[in-house]
A and B are shown apart, each in its own frame.
Chain A
C-alpha cells in the first residue's frame, strides 16, 4: 500500500489585491450582475387590475411567467426551452472564441466569491495580513475579525437567498410577510438553502467548487481549439526567468505577483491548466510589474495557442477578428440567431385569444332520434388578456352544419374571464337530409371571435358522418 495520505487538506488561497483594466471590468460586471439579480423583482409593471404588477414574475400558482410586456402560458413553454438552448449555445460560442470567459467574469460562483473576498480583504486586510492572521493564534483580535467577516458573509448570503424568492411572488407583499413570519414555509426553506450554499460555497469552498464540483470545466475543453483565445504566459519572452542581476535573460523577474493574485491558486507560467478561469487578474498583476521594470506589457496575455509559433519567430500574431471568426463560431452564431429569430417571430404572431379543439372520438358521432348526426367537440378557450371578454363561437364548412353550445340554450356568445381558460362543449349537427350526415368525414373550421375587438382565432377539425 501507498503511504500517501488518502486526503489532502484544502490549501488556503489568499488572493492579493490587484488593479488594472481587467480588474475594473470585473468590478463593473459584478456590479451589473448583482444589481440585476437583487433589483429585478422590485421593478413594477402595470398590467391592469387583475394581473400582477411585477415586471419579472414566475407565478407558480396560476402557472404564468411574466417578463415585462411578455406573458408566457404553460403551453408556451417552448419559449423557455428556446431560451435555455440559446443560453447553452451562447456558452458554446463564447467558450470556443474566448475560452472560459463565462467562468472568469459572469459565473455566479465567481461573482459571489469575488464579493466575499472583497469583504474578507476589507475586514482582515490584504494578502500578507491575511496569511499572518491565518497562521496566528486564536486570540481576541482573530476571533473579532473572523466573526465580523463571517457575519458579513452571512448577511450577503441571506440577501442572496432572500432575493431569489422574490421572483416567485409579489416582492413587497412577500417582504412584509417574511418579516412578520407569515410567509409560506417554502419561502423560508428556499432562503435557508440558498443562504447556506452561498455562505459555504462563496466563503469556504471557493475554487474547490470550480475544480471538484462543477461539470462545466470538464466539458469546455471540447469546445476549445488552438485558435481559442485564453490567458497564457509568453514563455518565449519570459524565460529564462529570474532577477536581472542574476543575469537571467527573460522578462519574467519571478516576482510571483501573478501567482499571488490568482483566485484559483495556480501558476500560469506552468502552462494552460484546467483550473484557470481566464479571469485575467494575473494579466493585470504582471502588466503592473512590467510597467515598473520598464518592459512592454503582455508577458501574460489573452492569446491563442496557434499564435505561438509566429510570436516565437518574432512576428505579430494574427488579427483578433480572424481568430474569433472561425467556421465553428460562425455556425454557433448562426444557429443561435436562428433560434432567437424563430422565438421572436413566435412571440409576435401569437394571439391574445386561442382555442384548441379536440373532437370527442368515443363515440365519433351520436345518432339523434330524428336521424340527425351529432359530433361533440371539447373546445378550450383561452383569454390571455387582462379583462373579461365576450367570445362568439361559429363554424364554417362547405357543407350545412349546425352548431350549438352545451348548456347555453341557443346562445353562441360566452364570457371568458380575464386571464383564464375555459372548457366549452360544442355540438355540431347534420340533419338527416344534409349530405354531411352520410359522408364519412367533412372538413369544418371552428372560429372564436372577440365581439368587441377585431381579433379572431380558428382551428380546423372534421365532422364524422354516419356511413351505412
Chain B
C-alpha cells in the first residue's frame, strides 16, 4: 500500500473501503481479541495433528491420538454389552413360559428380539412380520407348528425342512399328482374348499370327502383341522399360506409345497434365539 488515506474527521487511517460514501476506519483491534484469534489458530493446528483431519487420496490423516468414530462406536457397543450382561445372563436362564410381559426382562427381550428379527427374519416374514404368500404371517394366531413360546423357540432354533439340522421341523405332503387322477384332485380340492367356504359343489365335495378321509385325514384330521405335531395346516380356517382359491389348492395338492426355513440355532447366539422367540410370541398371536 503506497497511498495512505487519512480520514479528515478523526485523523485515523482508512482501509480504503467505502459503502454509501462511508469509509471504514482502520482502527486497531483489541489486544485480547487478537490473542484469542492467534490462540484459535494454534488450537486448530494442534487439532489437525491430534485428530483425523486432512483428506488424502484414500481416507484422511489418522491423527496422533488414534481417534476414530468407528472406534468410538465399537467401544460403545462393548460398553453396552457390558451393561446388558446381567440381563443377558438372566434371559439365558429364564423360563420364558412364565416371563411376565410387564417385566424389564421381557421388555429387553422384545427390544433385542425385534432388532434380530428385522436383521434376520424380515426378509421372508416382512418387517412387520405379516408374512407373504408361502411365508407364514406371525401376527395372527394360526400356527403350523404351535404358537406357544416353546414351539416358537424350537421352530426358530431348528428351522423347517433343512438338511443341516436333524431336529428341523419336517412335514412332507406327498405330491398327489402322482397318485390321484385329475378329477380326483378336483374333487378333493372342492371338499377342502367346502371346509371354509359356503359356496361349493355338493356332489363333487362328497366324492372328495371320501378321498380326503382315505388319504389326507391322517395328517389334516377328519375335519381338516390340521395337526400341529405334524405341521399339517388347518384347512378349515380363513388363513391360507399359499392361497385358498381352487387353482392354488389344485396346485398344492398336485405338487405339494416345500417351504424352508434355516436353523437359526446354528447362526444366532442362544440369547438372540431366546430374544427373537419372545419377540415373535409377543407380536400378537402367541399362545
Contacts and interface: CB of A to CB of B under 8 A. Distances in A.
Contact of A369 (B29, B30, B237): B237
A453 interface: no
Contacts of B27: 8
Interface string B210-250: 00000000000000000000000010011100000000000
Nearest to B137: A366
A369 B284 CA distance: 13
Interface string A1-34: 1101111111000000000000000000000000
Contacts of B70: none
Interface string B13-45: 100000000000011111111100000000000
Interface in B250-287: 282, 284-285
Given A362-B128, A432-B238, A7 B28 contact: yes
Interface centre among B4, B139, B140 (most CB of A within 10 A): B139
B31 A10 contact: yes
Interface in A46-75: none
Interface in A195-242: 205, 208, 212
Contacts, number: 81
B34 A366 contact: no
A402 to B, nearest CB: 14
A465 B271 CA distance: 37
Contacts of A10: 30-32
A177 interface: no
Nearest to B107: A423
A360 B282 CA distance: 14
A355 to B, nearest CB: 18
Interface centre among A6, A7, A208, A374 (most CB of B within 10 A): A7
A360 B126 CA distance: 14
Interface in B128-155: 128, 130, 137, 139-142
Interface centre among A8, A366, A407 (most CB of B within 10 A): A366
Contact of A366 (B1, B4, B284): B284
Given A363-B126, A363-B130, A432-B238, A4 B1 contact: no
A427 interface: yes
B127 interface: yes
B97 interface: no
B101 A9 contact: no
Given A7-B29, A8-B27, A369-B142, A407 B102 contact: yes
A376 interface: yes
Contacts of A8: 27-31
Interface in A346-376: 360-363, 366-371, 374, 376
Contacts of A212: 30, 33
A4 B282 CA distance: 78
Given A2-B1, A362-B128, A370 B30 contact: no
B130 A368 contact: no
A406 interface: yes
Nearest to B34: A7
- For chain A, what secondary structure do more than half of its interface residues adopt (helix, strand, loop), or is it mixed? loop
B237 A366 contact: no
B128 A360 contact: yes
A425 interface: yes
- For chain B, what secondary structure do more than half of its interface residues adopt (helix, strand, loop), or is it mixed? loop
A368 B238 contact: yes
Nearest to B1: A1
| Size range of the chain B interface in the assembly | 20 to 34
A466 to B, nearest CB: 10
Contacts of A5: 28
A432 B284 CA distance: 19
Nearest to A369: B237
Contact of B238 (A362, A371, A407, A425): A371
Contacts of B237: 369-371
A205 B32 contact: yes
B285 to A, nearest CB: 8
A369 B141 contact: yes
A13 to B, nearest CB: 13
Interface centre among A208, A361, A362, A367 (most CB of B within 10 A): A367
A215 B142 CA distance: 67
A366 B139 contact: yes
A369 B28 CA distance: 84
Given A9-B31, A10-B32, A369-B140, A4 B238 contact: no
B234 A369 contact: yes
A308 to B, nearest CB: 21
Contacts of A6: 28-29, 34
Contacts of B128: 360-363
A1 B102 CA distance: 77
A205 B234 CA distance: 83
B30 A376 contact: no
Nearest to B29: A7
A196 to B, nearest CB: 15
Contacts of B238: 367-371, 432
Interface string A174-199: 00000000000000000000000000
A394 B251 CA distance: 45
Given A4-B28, A5-B28, A425-B284, A368 B33 contact: no
A212 B36 CA distance: 12
Nearest to B127: A362
Contacts of A205: 32
Interface string B24-68: 001111111110000000000000000000000000000000000
A205 B127 CA distance: 60
A145 B239 CA distance: 91
Nearest to A9: B31
Contacts of A208: 30, 32
Contacts of A7: 28-31, 33-34
A427 B239 CA distance: 19
Interface in A80-101: none
Given A425-B284, A427-B284, A368 B141 contact: yes
A314 to B, nearest CB: 30
Contacts of A407: 101-102, 282
> Lowest 4 CB-CB distances: which A-B pairs, in order?
A362-B128, A369-B237, A363-B130, A407-B101
Given A7-B31, A370-B237, A407-B101, 15 more contacts: A4-B26, A6-B28, A7-B28, A8-B28, A10-B31, A205-B32, A208-B32, A360-B128, A363-B139, A367-B137, A367-B238, A368-B141, A369-B142, A369-B238, A376-B284
6 contacts: A4-B28, A10-B32, A212-B30, A362-B128, A367-B140, A369-B239
